């Protein structure tokens, strides 16, 4: 397997691990143009909605390795899945029965399918929460604009990690 890199703008810190022949590099960074700007000196809490493979393998290990981050809770539609992952990492788990019932935190990471995010966006925007989600941000342009209108610009962020893949960078440089 070839080496590849994965970077997400919008959060902070760095971690890496080695698995077999592939090298995985995770870089979460803050910069002045990031839609989700957080002071690197301030500690903050993150709540995660979704306890699937991307949370288990990527988000949770990276967030737990960050010195200024406390993972406050982990929610999933499957209470058993949230409990199992929470126990492994010492994180409070809960069933994501409704977006309105989620505990407060500084940032909510939505690691759930795009088709079920709308209720979470609505509820979290109503209480002024900051939200970070993965691509795709929305399934169509109208929904994308609707979601953006819910939040102040610095309260919503979306990760596009593939823009930093070696192949993507090669194509960009060739064009």
Q: Tens digit of pLDDT per residue, the chain (175 long)?
A: 333 333 333 333 333 333 333 333 334 444 444 444 444 447 889 999 999 998 998 889 989 998 889 999 999 999 999 999 999 999 999 987 789 889 999 999 999 988 889 899 999 999 999 999 887 878 889 998 999 999 988 888 887 666 666 776 777 777 6
Two tokens, residue 120: 């979470």
DSSP, res 2: -
Sorted by where each starts, the structural domains of the chain and their CATH numbers stand as 35-159 (3.40.50.720)
Cis peptide before 136 (omega within 30 of 0): yes
pLDDT of residue 44: 86
Lay out the sheet containing 22-29: strands in order across. 4-9, 22-29, 13-19
pLDDT of residue 139: 86
pLDDT of residue 50: 94
pLDDT of residue 161: 60
pLDDT of residue 168: 67
**95: three-class secondary structure by DSSP:** strand
Can you tell me the distance from the alpha carbon of 54 to that of 56, in angstroms, rounded to the nearest whole number? 6
Task: Count the helix, strand and coil residues of the chain and give each as a percent rounded to the nearest 5.
Answer: 35, 30, 35
pLDDT of residue 160: 65
DSSP, res 119: H
Strands 22-29 and 4-9: parallel
Can you tell me the distance from the alpha carbon of 46 to that of 37, in angstroms, rounded to the nearest whole number? 14
């Amino acid at each position: 397997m070839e080496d590849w890199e994965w970077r997400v703008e919008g959060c902070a810190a760095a971690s890496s691990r080695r698995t077999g022949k592939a090298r995985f590099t995770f870089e979460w960074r803050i910069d002045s143009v990031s839609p989700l700007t957080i002071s690197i000196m301030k500690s903050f809490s993150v709540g995660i909605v979704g306890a699937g493979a991307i949370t288990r393998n990527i988000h949770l290990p990276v967030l737990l390795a960050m010195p200024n981050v406390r993972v406050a809770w982990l929610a999933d539609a499957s209470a058993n899945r949230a409990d199992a992952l929470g126990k492994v990492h010492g994180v409070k788990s809960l069933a994501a029965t409704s977006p309105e019932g989620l505990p407060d935190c500084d940032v909510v990471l939505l690691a759930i399918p795009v088709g079920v995010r709308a209720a979470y966006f609505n509820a979290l925007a109503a209480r002024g929460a900051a939200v970070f989600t993965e691509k795709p941000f929305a399934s169509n342009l109208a929904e994308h604009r609707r979601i953006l209108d819910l939040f102040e610009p610095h309260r919503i962020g979306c990760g596009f990690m593939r823009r930093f893949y070696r192949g993507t960078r090669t194509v960009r440089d060739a064009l």
